[in-house]
Amino acid sequence: MNLLRFASLIFASVFAGPLMLSSERPNVVLIHVDDLGPEHLACYGGDVLTPNIDSLAEFGAKLTRYYTPSAVCSPSRYNLLTGRYASRCVDFAKQFPDKSEPAFIRWNAFLEGSEETVAHSFNRVGYATALIGKHHNTRNERFQEKLPTGADPRSPEEAKRMLGNYERVVEEVKRGTGFQEVSRLYVNNLHTLDLDEELHQHNPEWITEGGLDFIERHKAEPFFLYLAHTVPHGPSPLASLKSSPKITPSGFLDEAPQVQPSRQDVLRRVDEAGLPESAAPLTWLDDSVGAVLDKLKAEDLEENTIVIFISDHCGKGKLTCYDDGTRTPALIRWPSRIRAGIEIDAITSSIDWVPTFMEVCGLRRDDSYLVDGANLMPLFDGEEESVRLSLFLEIAYTKAVVTEDWKYIATRFPTRIQKEITPENRHLYNHEGEKATWDAIAGMVSVRYGTDKRHPGLFDDDQLYYLPDDPGEGQNLASQPEKAGTLKKMKRILNSYTQEFQNRFGEF
What's the pLDDT at 449?
86
For residue 226, being part of any structural domain is answered with yes
- Looking at the structure, tell me whether residues 159 and 220 fall in a common domain: yes
For residue 491, being part of any structural domain is answered with yes
Please give the radius of gyration of the chain, using alpha carbons only, rounded to the nearest integer.
22
Mean pLDDT value of segment 46-57: 98
For residue 43, being part of any structural domain is answered with yes
Q: Find the range with the poorest average confidence among 55-69, 131-145, 467-481.
A: 131-145
Q: Find the range with the poorest average confidence among 211-220, 358-367, 490-499.
A: 358-367
For residue 115, being part of any structural domain is answered with no
- Looking at the structure, tell me whether residues 28 and 162 fall in a common domain: yes
- Looking at the structure, tell me whether residues 296 and 375 fall in a common domain: yes
- Looking at the structure, tell me whether residues 431 and 360 fall in a common domain: no
* pLDDT band at residue 145 using 50, 70 and 90 as cut-offs: confident
Cis peptide before 235 (omega within 30 of 0): yes
Q: Could you tell me the pTM of the whole model?
A: 0.94
Domain count, the chain: 2
Q: What are phi and psi of 340, to 5 degrees?
A: -75, 145
Mean pLDDT value of segment 319-325: 97
- Looking at the structure, tell me whether residues 423 and 410 fall in a common domain: yes
CATH value at residue 306: 3.40.720.10
Q: What are phi and psi of 394, to 5 degrees?
A: -160, 145
Dist. CA 16–CA 356, nearest whole Å: 12
Measured in whole angstroms, how far is the alpha carbon of residue 320 from the centre of its chain?
14
Dist. CA 406–CA 63, nearest whole Å: 19
Counting beta carbons within 10 angstroms of the beta carbon of residue 453, is it exposed (0 to 12), middle (13 to 18) or buried (19 or more)? Answer: exposed
- CA distances to 187, 190, 203, 255, 256 from 252, in Å: 17, 15, 11, 9, 9
Task: Report the amino acid identity of residue 403.
Answer: T
Task: Report the amino acid identity of residue 280.
Answer: A
* Residue 507 DSSP class: T
Which residues constitute the domain of residue 423? Answer: 396-498
* pLDDT band at residue 2 using 50, 70 and 90 as cut-offs: very low
Dist. CA 407–CA 162, nearest whole Å: 46
Mean pLDDT value of segment 324-347: 98
CATH value at residue 443: 3.30.1120
- Looking at the structure, tell me whether residues 360 and 420 fall in a common domain: no
Enumerate residues 6+ apart whose C-beta is below 8 A from 472. Answer: 324, 454, 455
Measured in whole angstroms, how far is the alpha carbon of residue 3 from the centre of its chain?
25
* Contact yes or no for 29/295 (Cβ under 8 A): no
Which residues on adjacent β-strands are paired with residue 129? 224
What's the pLDDT at 241?
98
Task: List the end-to-end C-alpha distance of the chain, in Å, as a whole number.
Answer: 14
- Looking at the structure, tell me whether residues 359 and 433 fall in a common domain: no
Across the chain, mean pLDDT equals 93
How many other β-carbons are positioned within 10 Å of the β-carbon of residue 134? 28
- Looking at the structure, tell me whether residues 134 and 202 fall in a common domain: yes
Dist. CA 200–CA 179, nearest whole Å: 26
* pLDDT band at residue 17 using 50, 70 and 90 as cut-offs: very low
Q: Which of 508, 500, 414, 503 is nearest to 91 (CA)?
A: 503
What's the pLDDT at 441?
62
Mean pLDDT value of segment 181-207: 94
How many other β-carbons are positioned within 10 Å of the β-carbon of residue 416? 9
What's the pLDDT at 369?
86
pLDDT, one tens digit per residue, over 229-259 is 999 999 999 999 999 999 999 999 999 999 9
Cα angle 31, 44, 286 (rounded to 5 degrees) comes to 40
Mean pLDDT value of segment 88-105: 97
pLDDT above 80 (res 371): yes
For residue 508, being part of any structural domain is answered with no
Task: Report the amino acid identity of residue 216.
Answer: E
pLDDT above 90 (res 273): yes
Q: What are phi and psi of 23, to 5 degrees?
A: -70, -20
For residue 503, being part of any structural domain is answered with no
Length of the chain: 508
Q: Which helix (H) or strand (E) holds 324?
A: helix 323-326
Cα angle 364, 369, 374 (rounded to 5 degrees) comes to 80
Could you tell me which residue, 346 or 366, shows the higher pLDDT? 346
What's the pLDDT at 9?
40
Domain boundary among 348, 370, 392: 392
Mean pLDDT value of segment 63-80: 98
Neighbouring C-alpha atoms within 13 Å toward the C-beta of 419: 3
For residue 366, being part of any structural domain is answered with yes
pLDDT above 70 (res 355): yes
For residue 474, being part of any structural domain is answered with yes
pLDDT, one tens digit per residue, over 419-450 is 999 999 998 899 999 998 766 666 666 688 88
* Contact yes or no for 344/380 (Cβ under 8 A): yes
